[in-house]
Amino acid sequence: MNEPSSQPAIRVEGVAKHFGHGRAAVRALNGVDLTVEGGQVVMLVGPSGCGKTTLVSIISGVLNPDAGQVEVFGTNWNKLGEDARTRRRGELVGFVFQDFNLLPTLTAAENVMLPLLIRNTDRREARQRANDMLDKVGLGERVDALPAELSGGMQQRVAIARALVARPRLVVCDEPTASLDAKTGQRVLELICQASQPDELGPRCVLVVTHDNRVFHFADRIEQMEDGQLLDAPEADVLEHARYYKPHEPTPKRTEDEDA
């Protein structure tokens, strides 16, 4: 029997997904296998439309695959009904969506408080933790602003604060630096990566979809997608960026040396 600590953070087996019907059908994922251990920051890279968002949405339990299995810290989304799945997703996963998904009538702090309130955290404590997290992403002065009063980059940071505040086991970020300048992007990625460190409740991990090669050096591992499938190993230009920015550590798990 598996010890809880030996359980992978993410296990994806044979996942396939298509959208649409007939001649308009698009095959977004075509048999994806992926195992991620706790404690890792994994970056998912690849050209636009190759299936990255679809894969992380399925891993997060937001979207159902047509075929295959997904487990996150031992939870198999397929085996849960809709209510149980929503509840479990709230406990396990913090998600930063590409379009931020902030509630427009709530302030920055109120948006960030939501995952805590869902977990029945006392309102005053939730407010304090939301303010602290907004401070960490550089928005300590804007806690009472509505999303419409914030720039795109600020809204993105609110979304990141909301994903991190309840210390979920799995943090999934879809293009978290897309609206940020280089310096803020680095700062925010540092914060996101801290979410891969284990805490008193056990291991955690981080999955980041990105086109931004300036942040590849934060990855413990890089997975490259093409046409709905993961490549056996990232291509040289991807590894070059990872190595350039983090020369002292062998960032990718699979190098030619290891394969030899």
Ligand X SMILES: Nc1ncnc2c1ncn2[C@@H]1O[C@H](COP(=O)(O)OP(=O)(O)OP(=O)(O)O)[C@@H](O)[C@H]1O
What does the binding site for ligand X look like in residue numbers (CB under 6 A)? 19-20, 26, 28, 46, 48-54
Give the burial string for 160-189 (b: 16+ CB within 10 Å, else e). bbbbbbbbbbbbbbbbbbebbeeebbbbbb
Which is nearer to ligand X, 51 or 252 (by Cβ)? 51
SS3 224: strand
Which is nearer to ligand X, 51 or 147 (by Cβ)? 51
Which is nearer to ligand X, 45 or 133 (by Cβ)? 45
φ, ψ at 13 (rounded to 5°): -130, 120
Separation of alpha carbons 120 and 126, rounded Å: 9
**CB of residue 165 vs ligand X: minimum separation in angstroms?**
25
Report the half-sphere exposure of 4 (CA within 13 A, side-chain side): 6
**CB of residue 222 vs ligand X: minimum separation in angstroms?**
15
Burial bucket for residue 118 (CB in 10 Å: 0-12, 13-18, 19+): middle
**CB of residue 19 vs ligand X: minimum separation in angstroms?**
3
Q: Tokens 């590409």 sit at which residue?
A: 98
The identity of residue 85, as a single letter, is: R
Which is nearer to ligand X, 28 or 42 (by Cβ)? 28
**CB of residue 83 vs ligand X: minimum separation in angstroms?**
23
Burial bucket for residue 16 (CB in 10 Å: 0-12, 13-18, 19+): middle
Which is nearer to ligand X, 26 or 84 (by Cβ)? 26
**CB of residue 191 vs ligand X: minimum separation in angstroms?**
23
